[in-house]
Amino acid sequence: MGQGKIETLKEKGSNADILWTNLCTNSPLMYFWKNKKRRFAGGGSWSFLRYYGLSSVDELIGKTDEDMHWHIENGPFHDDEVEVLTQGKSIIGARGTCIVGGKLHHILANKMPVYEDGKIVGLLGFFSDLEQQLADEKIYTKGRLEDPATGLNNLRGLAENMNHYLEEFWHHGRKFCVMGFYIKEYETFRRTFGDTAGNVYLKAIGKALQDVFDHRAILAYVIDGQFYVIMQYENPENMHKIQQEAVRHIESIHHVGECRCTCTAKITLSYVNEENAGVFRYEQLMYQFMQELGKVDGEMEPETDKR
């Protein structure tokens, strides 16, 4: 009888299509599938698209995880998928991290080979977000790493995430930079309209940064109108351009609720390189970036030989 049911599904492929469509539409798990080259080859579940803020699968098809800039550490995801695609190995319950909304999230991933005519033609995977489970285990608590006004990382969250970037740089040479955005009008706005309005003001700045950096970077609010962004890069010139785009977004804010406002961003841009990352621990690097942000006399360009 089991064999008969399998043959029926083969003869009536629409049944399989219906099952897959309903799974993708209703499951809370983030389903996806990729071709032999590790590129997204078709649909993902709605929960997957929503998780990463994608409006349709068109933003996904033909790209790799690396193209999407979701991970600080690409190596574990890449190596797992190569094993699935070349050895037929199933990866069950692999822990990892990804960037979502400017914050680092812990996930539990599962990947398995897809066969056609006895050959592996791709992989099917799904994952779940572990933040709630980790909170229940008291491994991670939202308030410990999150700024309550903006919903971004606080200073502690920024420092912990900096460590991830440094380890990836030390072990695999993936370069990153730290951008600073100092909003000099914030303190005047807060004193004029009060703390509640001031928090709304900060949240608007944070949203502007999220719109620009999406899931490619770690975002943080530290104190007194000071925001930070940590982002991996290949071409330094691209970092300068995206920082200028962020400035334009911030300075386009003229209303917060019913209050008129001005937002002027003074910026810093620091590249982590073999010289400074080899000397300082991440705590010392954080101190260095804080010191640079305090200068806020305009844009600070790194020396070419330190990139």
244 pLDDT higher than 50: yes
Could you report how far apart the first and last alpha carbons of the chain are, in Å? 65
Residue the block writes with tokens 């925001």: 227
74 pLDDT higher than 70: yes
Distance CA 159, CA 155 (A): 6
pLDDT band at 31 (very low <50, low <70, confident <90, very high): confident
pLDDT band at 138 (very low <50, low <70, confident <90, very high): low
Mean pLDDT for 32-40 is: 91
pLDDT score, position 38: 93
288 pLDDT higher than 60: no
Strands 119-129, 176-183: parallel, antiparallel or unpaired by DSSP?
Answer: unpaired
Q: CA dihedral defined by 81, 67, 267, 280, rounded to 10 degrees?
A: 30
Q: Flag the least confident range among 1-5, 212-216, 228-232.
A: 1-5
265 pLDDT higher than 70: yes
Distance CA 177, CA 165 (A): 9
The first and second tokens of residue 89, run together, are 């190995």
62 pLDDT higher than 70: yes
Cβ 197 vs Cβ 189: under 8 Å: yes
Distance CA 207, CA 191 (A): 22
The first and second tokens of residue 173, run together, are 């040479």
Predicted model pTM: 0.65
Of residues 160 and 263, which shows the higher confidence score? Answer: 263
Mean pLDDT for 108-119 is: 89
Q: Is the Cα dihedral 61, 231, 187, 160 positive or negative?
A: positive
Instruction: State percent of the chain over pLDDT 70.
Output: 79
Q: Flag the least confident range among 151-160, 181-190, 273-282.
A: 273-282
132 pLDDT higher than 70: no
Mean pLDDT for 191-211 is: 94
Cβ 57 vs Cβ 43: under 8 Å: yes
pLDDT score, position 305: 36
pLDDT band at 165 (very low <50, low <70, confident <90, very high): confident
Identify the three-state secondary structure at position 220: strand
153 pLDDT higher than 50: yes
Mean pLDDT for 250-268 is: 92
Nearest to 115 by CA among 36, 19, 218: 36
Query: How many CA atoms are closer than 13 Å to the CA of 306, on its beta-carbon side?
Result: 12
pLDDT score, position 167: 80
Q: Which domains does the chain have, with CATH numbers?
A: 2-136 (3.30.450.20), 144-293 (3.30.70.270)
Cβ 176 vs Cβ 272: under 8 Å: yes
Q: Flag the least confident range among 38-47, 67-76, 241-250.
A: 38-47
